[in-house]
Amino acid sequence: MNPLTYRQAGVDLAGADAFVQRIKGLAAKTLRPEVLADIGGFAGLCALPSRYRDPVLVASTDGVGTKVKIAQQAGRHRGIGVDLVAMSANDCLVCGAEPLFFLDYLATGRLDQAVLEEILAGVAEGCCEAGCALLGGETAQMSDCYGPGEYDAAGFLVGVVERDRVVDGRTVVPGDAILGLASSGLHSNGFSLARRALLERAAYALDATLPPLTRPLADELLTPTRIYVRAIRPLLEAVPVKAMAHITGGGLVGNLPRVLPAGCRAILDSSAWVEPAIFGLIERAGQVPAEEMLRVFNLGIGFVVVVAEADAGPALDLLAKAGETVVRIGRIVPGERGAEVRHRRGMGG
């Protein structure tokens, strides 16, 4: 009987070691002064920024769901790395936190260094955009769990905020203004429904440009999640922001109520913003009910800010100058805690 090696069992240790060395350069681009150790150790070390008086750590973790299936089918993986950072960075940002460091977890059947390095290049890009350090990560080879070309990914981010500057929605009152920052598309939510509607039921090809889209379907679906850190952090210094929400799975109606106090209801006017055409295409291809679209997708609004009415104008100006497409999308009224979207006609109309 021939001796059995780990590589024959599906794990390439030498390749994994070589991969760690190759990604050190990517991680170096994201370094912050607080980072105390290089990539490759048993754990990452990071000090708290010295300027914080009473720091509170804020942590978030997320993945990108079945969006990885689209990336694998299209052979385009860099955006998945950006998505990983974006999902957790935007979640921490909701609390007013400054992103501090990020870690990734990549699981695959067989170590394809080119694919994994493409994902990590996207992670480094996202970290640079969010201002956090890529502190470390893990790559797991599990050939018994993943087929050829398959992988999954998750991300973990830790941020920091002054205790007395945590944004938690407690000060929201009726009369406050709701501002919406445009999404870049689907971001990383609803892909099980989108794939079923577009690729299975309608059998559209990823390289097809389908009216009213102006670019191939793969481009629309793989556009990375927008990272709002660079716009929101300066806003927090200039305007007393009362609440924020990252619009992920659950849509506006599911996410905005999470940051509202009892007795406050959000009334949103969907005619205030332009809904990207990809959502109408999904709705028509799958005959998805309008209520379901509202519960699953962001429909063009990726991040929400709640401010006092008197601060709405200055906040809109600051966000626009920071490069965001931002509009007033609604108001807070007395009522049962929740959110409702009005004036959406459905089926992309």
In the chain, % of residues over pLDDT 90: 84
Contact 141, 70 (CB under 8 A): no
Is residue 268 helix, strand or coil?
Answer: strand
The band of 349, judged by pLDDT with boundaries at 50, 70 and 90, is: very low
pLDDT in tens, 50-103: 999 999 999 999 999 999 999 999 999 999 999 999 999 999 999 999 999 999
Q: What is the pLDDT of residue 199?
A: 97
The band of 14, judged by pLDDT with boundaries at 50, 70 and 90, is: confident
127: closest CA among 94, 82, 96?
A: 82
For 72, what's the count of Cα atoms within 13 Å in the CB-facing half-sphere? 18
Output the pTM of the full model.
0.94
Residue ranges, CATH 3.30.1330.10, the chain: 13-37+51-165
Strands 264-269 and 326-334: antiparallel
What's the rounded mean pLDDT across residues 326-331? 98
**What is the CATH topology of the domain spanning 13-37+51-165?**
60s Ribosomal Protein L30; Chain: A; (3.30.1330)
Contact 158, 111 (CB under 8 A): no
Q: What is the pLDDT of residue 3?
A: 77
Residue ranges, CATH 3.90.650.10, the chain: 177-342
Contact 83, 188 (CB under 8 A): yes
**Cis peptide upstream of residue 212 (ω within 30 degrees of 0):** yes
pLDDT in tens, 42-55: 899 999 999 999 99
229: closest CA among 181, 278, 297, 288?
A: 181
Q: What is the dihedral of CA 334, 316, 92, 108, to 10 degrees?
A: 120
CATH of 177-342, one of 3.30.465.10, 3.90.650.10, 3.90.1170.50, 2.40.50.460: 3.90.650.10
Q: How far apart are the first and last CA of the chain?
A: 68
